[in-house]
Amino acid sequence: GAVVSQHPSWVICKSGTSVKIECRSLDFQATTMFWYRQFPKQSLMLMATSNEGSKATYEQGVEKDKFLINHASLTLSTLTVTSAHPEDSSFYICSASSPSGNNEQFFGPGTRLTVL
Amino acid sequence: AQSVTQLGSHVSVSEGALVLLRCNYSSSVPPYLFWYVQYPNQGLQLLLKYTTGATLVKGINGFEAEFKKSETSFHLTKPSAHMSDAAEYFCAVSDRPGTASKLTFGTGTRLQVTL
């Protein structure tokens, strides 16, 4: 089946630093990738949708300059949390889809970010 | 706007007992509904989805869900729970059939299966 990986699985950083999270589709080409954020005991909240080779579309309330998304290839999307602060601590999950896969979203295992 | 409510953040059942996880939705357009399962340290996996047609949808691992428009519900059931069913379950709604469209998730229900 379609596999999506995320790296790192967890990261701890100091306040003010930037953190990059990678999302890879391992065995298919992902024309669209999604980035979600999940707080404890809360829903997955869609942050942005990215299509390969174009700018990401951000959801209302998500700062595009703080959460930089790059979808440079059909198998890789990156989320960079710039100047991270403790309130950015969360679980970040990506998903990838391909038209050939009946448009199903395949989810990565998530990345736990803790900002000290 | 669309929203999903999952009643009960934790559900505990005995092995072999009926599993019922509740999901109610709100949508101003015909909804497309999904159930996902998340095992520890793994990504979300699609269990089943309702797009159009038959309102009783069968999914993987013996799960099924019924779309009831009058009740705005899409509850997930399984006749007999197995220990391997212990996981987090998420209900989601979209305004388009493909899961590549924007999904709105519920807060999730953690299913515990006891001996």
pLDDT in tens, A29-76: 888 899 999 887 778 899 999 988 888 999 999 999 999 999 888 899
Please give the share of chain B, as a percent, with pLDDT higher than 90: 71
Contacts of B106 in chain A (CB under 8 A): 43
Inter-chain CB proximity B102 and A49 less than 8 Å:
yes
Contacts of A110 in chain B (CB under 8 A): 43
pLDDT at A1 over 80: no
Interface test with chain B among A105, A106, A107, A111, by most B beta carbons within 10 Å: A105
Integer Cα distance of A2 and B10 in angstroms: 29
Integer Cα distance of A56 and B69 in angstroms: 34
For residue B88, the surrounding DSSP H or E stretch is: strand B87-94
Q: Which phi and psi (to 5°) does residue A75 adopt?
A: -125, 0
For residue A34, the model assigns a pLDDT of 94
Write the pLDDT tens digit of every residue in A101-111.
566 788 999 99
In chain B, the residue whose alpha carbon lies closest to the alpha carbon of A32 is B100
Give the mean model confidence (pLDDT) for residues B40-65.
Answer: 90
> Nearest-CA distance from B41 to chain A in Å?
6
Write the pLDDT tens digit of every residue in B60-102.
999 999 999 999 999 999 999 999 999 999 999 988 766 567 8
Give the mean model confidence (pLDDT) for residues A10-31.
Answer: 94
Nearest to A43 among B41, B98, B107 (CB): B107
Give the pLDDT band (50/70/90) at residue A99. low
> Nearest-CA distance from B108 to chain A in Å?
7
| Distance set, CA B99 to CA A13, A112, B70, B82, B103 (Å) | 33, 24, 24, 27, 7
